[in-house]
Structure 1
């Protein structure tokens, strides 16, 4: 492989063409007066090197290295300077900004007049590495929990958000399975959910547990993907505690009165229908009571609406104190309230309850040290004696209440 005359190292073309990397043999062109390197001229190259330039080999031989590397004059000068600075055999990385191409160059000096370059383009590899770096940053800084899960359920990678949310250091989290961070009540859904994750992916809600045993609701997006090492599942998990609390608040506002915190008209009627259905199925009795505050308008007119609101809240609180947990109190609007009493034994029980409710207003309501004497007019009806539908019960309770009001108020009456 040596020429006896020139003592120059060269490679047979069968060898160079078999290389996967680019090979270029360069002649060093120097200034006759200063001895400084002026250029590097191509003496030989292989196919991979020629393909970098997009030219035929015959069009490259005898031309500057800039032609081979498909770069402009300025970039070529920088490469020549880099080659001139490199003493001995060295490997360096070089990027040609004009073409946005990056090469790994192995510089092998043969003599003062010749050098060999072996180079491989690593543009795509570097871009892939950059993408991976960005991916790693996004993975660690993501606001959602991200878990890589093996097909047998082992957690094989987790981001910082996962560690923070579950309360484990990373090593501890990677010793667990996905089943171990799910609440036990979710176990029956696991196989079905993972089967769907393997097909088109799945989004579902679940309950997860922290290291301290506390439970929190999550939304999980799970998908199975192929990697060089085989299949794995990617779980992107979002804590939806705030969303659930907001949903609960919206549902509460839809069913409850904001002032008195008892059921509103819609919420009460919904429960009334359910309790009537249950009473029919179980052959039990229920009672519907209705009352309003006698001459309530005077509190607003004489003392202001803030005092009227105070009276409404106090009335609701007092009545709730008399009822059982299984009974329901609602406000239909204004000063009109309704009560649903379930599992009633007989009319005597209802009459006794009405007497207790009426009696709690013997003591005045105290507002800022000032006593407000309050009384109510209370009427009631029984299922199934007086009516079997909600509308009929409301009618009979209302009629009984207005009978008391007609008599001057401050009393109670069960429908006859």
Structure 2
């Protein structure tokens, strides 16, 4: 016992000495590292002071450039545009930070150099400008130059605005003691200022932010860099003088002092080695026990981290262990399920099969169990599980139960089902489907793609972007891919080209498929041949605008064409004529021979009329046997009368029926645009009255509407 006590005391002393040595090594490393850190921060602060000096120097240089121009305006009481341009050109040649130079008598911009690209600034009222007005008023109130911004310029870009009030110099008074003349405004290129100060360098060893818009220092807003730098305690802060105000700079250095990491890690490594050696000696006598404890702890932690349920049973198949994942899977407490037969964890309909399977496993211990079962969770939902089990042996190698894992495959099974449905839809869809990779290369197409385009999968898989045969799709798809990356969806109608060279209209939708990180992984194109739909729409449109019997334009289309022709007549200064007529003798013919013959006669007349007029003219049926001819461009009244004569001759052309030559006549009323009206309704009314003048004389012929 005494020997054991001395050994324990010696181990305790050794442990204390080893840990003390480790602490001393870490403390020494920390002190040296702190010294390196302080020296390194001093060097970085010196570098930042240089950046500040360059920033102030570049800014003051740009601000002082225009002093001569201001003095000349104050002394002369103004400046001519020629002198202004000469002075400004010299200043701009010397200093590239000046975006432009403007003079604003009475606060309104009148002179600007260079003018090109700055036209939008001329005439700008600086005092009442919603953005720049505040700085202008501050300048007037203080009577001193003001540096505002950075601001977005009207002509584009971002700049600091240096405004200087200009007071005239009296002949017998001190300089600039006279009345207020206006101001000089000089935008200073903000990005150029950063370049001269060295703040735009990609390898700058700092992260830098600036605040103090309009020279308000720490009270102003952050206008460049990350605003969070001002919240960090380790950040350097320096004031930058800008005229009568200031900016505040915050910066954090990238990296850490050279050698500090090596020193710290070296000290920690040495301390760790000392401590490890000490602890190894101290725990030597307890190694076997500690290994067992650590092994058990490791297995427990692994079981807690697994998403699958580890389980163990005894020889009677009672549950002796369930992993923590059982609660996540079933919603049941682990303790309530221990010491129960393992089969009772399963769905009632699967328990008999489970008992049979485990009995066979006990009889054939070298065989593994890999089988699907179901469970019912605490919420009453059925979940699918895959069970893999094997015989558990004791220290002597004899069977002592089973060990296994229960994996939740519910979502996997549902996913497989959804994938099967998607695959069937892909194969059987009547719409064409194309799957692209992230670079726009075709990965696969469905059978409907080949039916629509005539191209097989082998011909298009592996090509880039456009599997639809070119045509209008190539240019349209270029814009569609850009829209797809921004909005994840695009839809439109295009003209595709089949393999045989024939074109077809199609509706196309593109959908982006992104991975878990949000990056574009695939895109899917779904398209349909809409030839029949287009034809149907065209038929509907034609029926809406044309007479169903004769195919001639109806009143709706006649009105539309009248509006177009009237616009051209007004523009070009020519006249138009409208011929309104019905068919004399049509009613007796219809009554005698029947409606079918009457319809054939109307179609016959329509074809005769179309043969006699120009393509630019319109023949319309506006009633049962009433027709209108719109002459969109007419030289003289005689032109309209010649057309009327041709119409009468065309209408009189006999129509053969059952060996008879059926004939009818026409009475035509003529109205002129704009003499008889400036609307279609007015012209038709006037022509209608003129037509009845013809009928009053005995029918057949034409009559001009009265003035």
TM-score, with length taken from structure 1: 0.82
Q: Is the 8 A contact 1:255 1:266 kept in 2?
A: yes
Range 234-243 or range 42-51, more displaced: 42-51
Q: Is the 8 A contact 1:365 1:374 kept in 2?
A: no
> Given the alignment of the two structures, is residue 268 of structure 1 paired with residue 558 of structure 2, yes or no?
yes
Root mean square deviation, CA, Å = 3.1
Which of 403, 407, 412 aligns to 2:697? It is 407
Which of 557, 568, 582 aligns to 1:278? It is 568
* Count of aligned residue pairs for this structure pair: 394
- Structure 1 segment 300-339 matched on structure 2, within 5 A: 300-339=590-629
In structure 2, the partner of 1:205 is 493
- Structure 1 segment 37-186 matched on structure 2, within 5 A: 40-48=317-325, 52=329, 60-67=337-344, 70-71=345-346, 75-86=350-361, 87=364, 88-90=366-368, 92-96=370-374, 100-109=382-391, 110=393, 111-150=398-437, 152-181=439-468, 184-185=471-472
Deviation string 1:224-264 (CA, Å, 9 cap, x unpaired) is 33125931333333333333223222221221111111011
Which of 637, 645, 651 aligns to 1:355? It is 645
Range 43-52 or range 244-253, more displaced: 43-52
For 2:433 and 2:390, the matched residues in 1 are separated by: 47
In structure 2, the partner of 1:6 is none
Which of 583, 590, 598 aligns to 1:293? It is 583
Name the structure, 1 or 2, with higher relative contact order (CA <8 Å, separation 6+): 1
In structure 1, the partner of 2:299 is 15
Is the partner of 1:25 in helix, strand or coil?
strand
Deviation string 1:94-118 (CA, Å, 9 cap, x unpaired) is 1226563333333323444433323
Q: Is the 8 A contact 2:326 2:332 kept in 1?
A: no
Is the partner of 1:28 in helix, strand or coil?
coil
For 1:93 and 1:152, the matched residues in 2 are separated by: 42
Deviation string 1:158-215 (CA, Å, 9 cap, x unpaired) is 3332332222222323334444527644556545545554327444333333222333
Is the partner of 1:251 in helix, strand or coil?
helix
For 1:116 and 1:155, the matched residues in 2 are separated by: 48
TM-score, with length taken from structure 2: 0.51
> Given the alignment of the two structures, is residue 214 of structure 1 paired with residue 511 of structure 2, yes or no?
no
In structure 1, the partner of 2:180 is none
In structure 1, the partner of 2:529 is 239
**More strand, by proportion:** 1
Sort the Cα spacing of 1:66 and 1:319 in 2 relative to 1 into closer, same or farther, 3 A.
same
Give 5+ residue unaligned stretches, structure 2: 1-294
For 2:580 and 2:340, the matched residues in 1 are separated by: 104
Q: Is the 8 A contact 1:287 1:341 kept in 2?
A: yes
Q: Is the 8 A contact 1:47 1:57 kept in 2?
A: yes
Sort the Cα spacing of 1:225 and 1:78 in 2 relative to 1 into closer, same or farther, 3 A.
same
Is the partner of 1:156 in helix, strand or coil?
strand
For 2:489 and 2:682, the matched residues in 1 are separated by: 52
Q: Is the 8 A contact 2:347 2:374 kept in 1?
A: no
Sort the Cα spacing of 1:283 and 1:41 in 2 relative to 1 into closer, same or farther, 3 A.
same
What is the deviation of 1:321? Answer: 1.4
Is the partner of 2:302 in helix, strand or coil?
coil
For 1:385 and 1:116, the matched residues in 2 are separated by: 106
For 2:591 and 2:564, the matched residues in 1 are separated by: 39
For 1:167 and 1:256, the matched residues in 2 are separated by: 37
Is the partner of 1:333 in helix, strand or coil?
coil
In structure 1, the partner of 2:190 is none
Range 254-263 or range 351-360, more displaced: 351-360
Give 5+ residue unaligned stretches, structure 1: 1-10, 30-39
What is the deviation of 1:134? Answer: 1.8
For 1:307 and 1:58, the matched residues in 2 are separated by: 97
Which of 664, 681, 687 aligns to 1:391? It is 681
Is the partner of 2:621 in helix, strand or coil?
strand
Bigger CA radius of gyration: 2
What is the deviation of 1:331? Answer: 0.6
Is the partner of 1:18 in helix, strand or coil?
helix
What is the deviation of 1:127? Answer: 1.8
**More helix, by proportion:** 2
Is the partner of 1:257 in helix, strand or coil?
coil
